Amino acid sequence: MTNFSPSRDFAIQLDSQDSLASYRDQFVVNEPDLIYLNGNSLGRMPKSVVERMQKAVEEEWGTDLIRGWNKGWWEAPSRIGEKIASLLGAAEGQVIVGDQTSINLFKLATAVLTLKPEKKRIITDTFNFPSDLYILQGIVKILSYSGGRVGGDGLDTDYRPTRPSPLYRDHEIIRIGAQDDDITPDLTALENAINEDTALVTLSHVTFKSGYLYDMAHITELAHRKGALVLWDLSHSAGALPIELDKCNVDFAIGCTYKYLNGGPGAPAFLYVNKSLQNDATSPIWGWWGQSNPFAFDLDYQPAPGVQRFLAGTAPMLSMLAMEEALTPLIDAGMDSLRAKSILMTDYASYLTDHLLAPLGFSLGSPRDSAKRGSHISIRHPDGYRINRAMIEEMNVIPDFRAPDNIRLGFAPLYLSFADIWEGFDRIRRVMEEKRYEKYPKQKLMVT
């Protein structure tokens, strides 16, 4: 690990040695004073997206109109899927873009349960993004009923069937908890929970709060040894670190494109289906974009070959094209050099947390070992929510807040400098020393 120093000059020295520094010029930076530490929630926009969108709107939508579908729109989900695949260690024909991460999880987790009808266990953890947990709960609920009323207030937590569907297996969702530090999942409990009755192991590769990075190869192998399939949520790792889906024999994966992939607000998500499973896995949403011959307008569904069958309906083309353009600088920079800078940044931020903020009541809420960490860290403080608000509203620093006490700082290596990080920490120090957070209510705004 580098011998860091808390001085601003040291940050400037790190910037002078940064081989990726020039990429910042490729991004729209309208407010030079803004310290943007939220590229892990919504990445900055590459400048070239503006021009690409102008062309998409004026020439393609405006002029081509419906002809656009035969001029590259129809193929966009698989064309863009291949570009993302190059960042995920996935060979051709396994990644496709469409819908949201939540919807893609629904499709793939349901596919797993139909591939493993004799097994009951679904294993995940309490570190997973809540939407992922809700989707799993919803799937189990659907499988427990074949139509009819969902009883009472419609919110019964007991998933027992009134009339079971053929797939009903009294599925059990097991959520692995945390180790004592609340930063690391309980890996022994995880290993013990995966047994011969396990259909699915589904986890976030990098967890959304602490930034813990799972050992993908190891967990996938553990699951396979017991006959289970794995589904990784790559939302916080795609574009942040090198991923080897094929090498790790991963079965399924999903992920967002608006975070480190810079695809724009609400940009469509991706999904990965390992080639070896593509003939047998089916989507629970039989839409026409996943039909083998959609323009034959057959009245019965025949799944398209390959990963295409996991599409459902018409792709949001403008978002797709913006996201496609946004991938260019990432692909150009390469994941290895991005990861090297990301590790240096998260190491540096951990050091600044210890040296500048620990005396002010903060603690590090993320792994100290960079091999076990993604590209964000959490800093924890009992008044985290109010501090976060003061940073946004008075200091022009944008992190985000994740309950109960995590201020989450994301480090996107393409456009963030070490001087930005130093400045961000110095402004947090000022918020604390000047007690600026004390005037904010504890009551939270809708989006934190």
Ligand X SMILES: Cc1ncc(COP(=O)(O)O)c(C=O)c1O
Separation of alpha carbons 220 and 199, rounded Å: 13
- 258 catalytic per annotation: yes
**Which residues have CB under 8 Å from 80's CB, separation 6+?**
97, 320, 323, 324, 327
Site size toward ligand X, by CB under 6 A: 13
- 275 catalytic per annotation: no
- 23 catalytic per annotation: no
- CB under 6 A: which stretch of 43-51, 90-98, 233-241, 366-374 binds ligand X? 233-241
Per-residue contact flags (x/-) with ligand X for residues 3 to 42, judged by CB under 6 A = ----------------------------------------
Catalytic residue among 129, 362, 385, 411, which?
A: 129
Closest by CA to 314, choosing from 105, 97, 135, is: 97
Catalytic residue among 4, 168, 258, 437, which?
A: 258
Based on the shown chain and the rule CB under 6 A, indicate whether residue 256 belongs to the binding site for ligand X. yes
DSSP state of 268: P
Based on the shown chain and the rule CB under 6 A, indicate whether residue 400 belongs to the binding site for ligand X. no
Per-residue contact flags (x/-) with ligand X for residues 39 to 78, judged by CB under 6 A = ----------------------------------------
| Contact criterion met (CB below 8 Å) for 395 and 31 | no
Residue from 100, 137, 184, 249 touching ligand X (CB under 6 A): that is 100
Which CB sits closer to ligand X, 133 or 356? 133
Separation of alpha carbons 421 and 35, rounded Å: 8
Separation of alpha carbons 228 and 113, rounded Å: 10
Based on the shown chain and the rule CB under 6 A, indicate whether residue 101 belongs to the binding site for ligand X. yes
Separation of alpha carbons 448 and 441, rounded Å: 13
10 Å CB burial of residue 161 (0-12, 13-18, 19+) is middle
Residue from 60, 125, 132, 420 touching ligand X (CB under 6 A): that is 132
- 310 catalytic per annotation: no
Starting at the earlier edge strand, list the strands of the sheet with 270-273: 95-97, 270-273, 252-255, 229-233, 198-204, 121-125, 172-176
- 141 catalytic per annotation: no
**DSSP codes joined into one string, 95-142:** EEE-S-HHHHHHHHHHHHHHH-TT--EEEEETTS-HHHHHHHHHHHHH
Cβ at position 422, least distance to ligand X in Å:
27
Which CB sits closer to ligand X, 68 or 98? 98
Interface with ligand X by CB under 6 A: which residues?
100-102, 129, 131-132, 204, 208, 233, 235-236, 256, 269
Active-site residues, by number, are 129, 233, 258-259, 408
